[in-house]
Amino acid sequence: MTGVKGEQGMKGEHGMNGEQGINGEQGLKGEKGMKGEQGMKGDKGSNGLDGIPGKLGPTGPQGLIGLPGTNGVKGEKGEQASQQKSAFSVVFTSDPGRHAVSPMKYDTIITNVGNHYNLDTGKFVCTIPGVYVFHVTSLKSNSGGIIFTRIMKNGIFQVSTWADGNGHDSVSTMVVLDLVSGDQVWTQPYGTSHNYYHSDINRFCSFSGFLLYAA
């Protein structure tokens, strides 16, 4: 039979530390462990402060000239500036004969733009200041004698024509005059012995003028 367990004996005194043992050899490398699960996404960080603008860099070299561009759309037609107009042509359709030394009153108007030629007085009256061109043609009668026709401006002759001898003779002249408003221009014979005119339905005697450009 087993006997009765005896009382626990008293704890012995603490022994002295043993000397340090020699390091063991390095163990074999363990196998690679399994990949861990993906961690949770972290919170978005705050935006950083804007940096100070950098200095302007040096100017680069000039680039090559580009190809010409395509033509643009044609613009609308502009408005034509208003042009002042003045022009006339008058003739004798019948024989004026020995015309008096006074403004020659041509009997028929061919053109009278602006109505500046007065058929009753035989005078052109300027209403548009500017530079004008005047032209006169006269035919001498077949009975001899002389025609001496002048273009007059305000009573002062500007240019003249002359024809003398037997048979018909046609002469003409032209002048450019600078006129102001109210100036008058007409034709008339030089004198009573220089007025052997002839005309008929063929209109051999004429007087014309037109505005070259306004002042």
Q: Flag whether pLDDT at 9 surpasses 70.
A: no
| The domain over range 87-214 is classified in CATH as 2.40.170.20 | no
Mean pLDDT over 194-200 rounds to 93
Which residues, other chains included, contact 142 with Cβ-Cβ below 8 Å and sequence gap of 6+? 166, 167, 168, 198
What whole-number distance in Å separates Cα of residue 187 and Cα of residue 101? Answer: 10
Write down the domain spans for the chain.
87-214
Band of pLDDT at residue 10, cut at 50, 70 and 90 = confident
The predicted-structure confidence for 136-183, as pLDDT tens digits, reads as follows: 999 999 887 899 999 999 999 999 999 998 888 899 999 999 999 999
Confidence of residue 6 (pLDDT cuts 50, 70, 90): low
Q: What is the pLDDT, as a whole number, of residue 176? A: 98
Q: Checking DSSP bridges between strand 87-92 and strand 123-125, what pairing results, if any?
A: unpaired
Better-predicted residue by pLDDT, 56 or 205: 205
Question: Mean pLDDT of all residues in the chain?
Answer: 87
pTM of the model: 0.62
Percent of the chain with pLDDT strictly greater than 70: 85
Is-contact 68 170, C-beta < 8 A?
Answer: no
The confidence band for 54, taking pLDDT boundaries of 50, 70 and 90, is confident
The amino acid present at 22, given as its one-letter code, is I
**202 has pLDDT over 70:** yes
Lowest mean pLDDT among 15-29, 58-72, 196-210: 15-29
Kindly report, residue by residue over 106-123, the tens digit of the pLDDT: 999 999 999 999 999 999
pLDDT score of 144: 78
Q: What is the per-residue pLDDT for 210?
A: 98
- 67-81, 117-131, 158-172: lowest mean pLDDT where? 67-81
Looking at the predicted structure, is the pLDDT value of residue 104 above 70? yes
Query: If you ran DSSP here, which 8-state letter would residue 107 be given?
Result: S
The CB-based long-range contact list for 150-158 (8 Å cut-off, 24+ gap) reads 150/187, 150/188, 150/189, 150/190, 151/175, 151/185, 151/186, 151/187, 152/103, 152/185, 152/186, 152/187, 152/188, 153/177, 153/179, 153/183, 153/184, 153/185, 154/183, 154/184
pLDDT at residue 27 tops 70 = no
What is the structure's pLDDT at 75? 67
pLDDT-derived band at 188 (thresholds 50, 70, 90) equals very high
